[in-house]
Structures are given as C-alpha cells and as structure tokens.
Amino acid sequence: MWDTFDLFRVKRAIEALPESEIIIIASNKTVANEYWKRIKQQLNINKRPWIISNANTNDGLPFLGALILKIDRWWENKNATFVMEQSRVSKLILPITYIPPHRK
C-alpha cells in the first residue's frame, strides 16, 4: 500500500489555489526536482514551480500568495531561514514527507 496522504494534500491545495505560484524548498535541488516530478506525473499538472536551491539568492521569488512545499529535510537548505521569514505572506505552507513514485 502506497502512502499517498501528502499527495492528496498537495492535490487539494493546488485545486483550492489554482492561480498561486508554487515554491519548493528541499534539502537540495535533486530532491526537489524528484518530488516535483512525482507530483506532476501523478496529478497531471503542467505548472512550473520555483525551486529554492542552496545556491539561490532568492531575490524576486513570488512569496505573496504562494503555495510553499517544504519537502523532506528542507531545513538543511541554507536558505531555510529566509524562506521561513518570507513564507508569512504566502497562502499555504505544506510540509511534505513522502510522495510515492508514479505507478503505471
């Protein structure tokens, strides 16, 4: 049995906030891209998220009204403190611990 709780939460959030930008923070860019790939495949989404890597300066990210996905060990990202400060103006913040791989 696949654990799909976090996937359903993301689906509901995207359906409730269809116009919102999606910002992803994870421990590194590889993890963020893999999780987004899983979300995109399973929910058939064509949106493109903003991914906060450890190298970003994060200037100009659309935090106002955004949906922020804090994935896996996101606090290991050196920009985590900045994201926590800026996320106060977002619409929704979802901590995501696991999104199962896509099954055909």
Average pLDDT estimate for 1-29: 91
Which residue range(s) make up the domain with 30?
A: 5-56+69-96
Average pLDDT estimate for 11-24: 96
- In this structure, is residue 16 part of a structural domain? yes
Average pLDDT estimate for 30-46: 94
Hey, how many other C-beta atoms are within 10 angstroms of the C-beta on 62?
13
Could you tell me the pLDDT band of residue 100, with boundaries at 50, 70 and 90? Answer: confident
- In this structure, is residue 61 part of a structural domain? no
- In this structure, is residue 11 part of a structural domain? yes
pLDDT in tens, 48-93: 999 998 886 677 889 999 999 999 999 999 999 999 999 999 999 9
- Conformation bin of residue 44: beta by default, left when phi > 0, alpha when psi is -120 to 50: left
Amino acid at 39: I
